[in-house]
Structure 1
């Protein structure tokens, strides 16, 4: 695509949009650090970060930021913010809220370290195939469920789940890259995620004291996403085919 002043402005505007994620990230961390911090507010700010992250990728590809705004590496900004909002802040929230057994809170640092290696791996994102390598550091989602699991079951269940996901973060398993999902599955993945977020927002006012039935219903989409990821990865499906 030939460059032009208008395209360059739009490309740099995409970089600004990506960088704007630092504002809700800072507000989320401030809530974590407060003595009376409310985890529900943390999740709302992290949701804003996630929305920005979901939007800026397609915009970056549409306006060819690597060509039209080459002075700024948007991937670096994106990776730094992703680590903060998908890994560091939510895991600090888990530790801060005591959603792990007494004396094991420090193990969130192991998950953080695994995510560092996950983000820095040269094949962390297979954009041509449409996959993440390893568990894609969805620790913001884990944190949401850690509060529920610790309340409905046991902090040990949250800890075991976190340790399993930590191992998966640095293993060569594949998870779907939602924006690059094959055409056949893309509506199910993207629209399903919207419905899932609605369910999570519906739970938020009563969080973490929700009914077991609601908790189980909220797990339908994560289970679906995981099953589809493993199914397509095992068949070597890519974003270029029909499913």
Structure 2
């Protein structure tokens, strides 16, 4: 009975690794759409959304099923980082370049953001899991890319470029952004619940993409503002938060 129980736990742990690795499927389909002659960015964003959902659940599952103990031959963190870099950084930035959402002659600067994200992912203190923070802007380029199409269509490609360049600098700066799944208990329900509502507003924006109503756009920006404030507050006040 004990042997069977051990086999079950090992199977569950390796199953979590396969679940994490399944993020490569929406990543590949997103790249396929980017390379199509008539690229529809909404389809790319939906594939990236699926990859984000997988990423949101694999961490808690890995901790629940103790993958480091029962599936030690595979480093789930390496799989997670590789797929996260593709789906949170490389692919959305590639889409931004492909759709020409930056001013003429500046599209190549997405490579600076890609490089900054590489450095961010590779930094030894990229994740402070004990305190629950990311170091630097945590390469949420998938969200940036969605707003890039809106900013460039409604306002100016220069707004997109300036935002991207600023986030590129923040990616390698010693600033700290809260890790949603590891946020202090007091904040976690607001951060995770707000993220769910924010996702719904982004889906609503896709329905009107790339020219949503001003009201919907402003509502969608409320959560990033709250998330930024929560990160600052929790980092400053620590356990008091």
TM-score by length of 1: 0.96
| Residue 214 (structure 1) shift | 1.2
Cα offsets for 1:92-111 (capped at 9, x unmatched): 00000011000000000000
| Residue 234 (structure 1) shift | 2.0
User: After superposition, where does 1:121-136 map in structure 2 within 5 Å?
Assistant: 121-136=123-138
Cα offsets for 1:191-229 (capped at 9, x unmatched): 111011111111212100111121111100011001110
| Residue 242 (structure 1) shift | 6.4
Select the residue among 29, 33, 36 that pairs with 2:35: 33
Count how many residue pairs are aligned between Structure 1 and Structure 2. Answer: 238
Q: Does 1:210 align with 2:216?
A: no
- The structure in which a higher percent of residues are helix is 2
Select the residue among 163, 166, 171 that pairs with 1:164: 166
CA distance in 2: counterparts of 1:34 and 1:51, whole angstroms:
25
Select the residue among 139, 150, 155 that pairs with 1:137: 139
Misfit runs of 4+, over 6 Å:
none
User: After superposition, where does 1:41-60 map in structure 2 within 5 Å?
Assistant: 41-60=43-62
Q: Secondary structure at the match of 1:185?
A: helix
Q: Does 1:20 align with 2:22?
A: yes
Select the residue among 70, 89, 92 that pairs with 2:91: 89
Q: Which runs of 5+ in 1 are unaligned?
A: none
Q: Secondary structure at the match of 1:210?
A: coil
CA distance in 2: counterparts of 1:231 and 1:142, whole angstroms:
23
CA distance in 2: counterparts of 1:139 and 1:209, whole angstroms:
19
TM-score by length of 2: 0.97
Aligned-residue CA RMSD (Å): 1.2
CA distance in 1: counterparts of 2:166 and 2:236, whole angstroms:
20
Contact map agreement 1:175 1:230 (CA 8 A) in 2: yes
Contact map agreement 1:183 1:242 (CA 8 A) in 2: no
| Residue 152 (structure 1) shift | 1.3
Q: Does 1:107 align with 2:95?
A: no
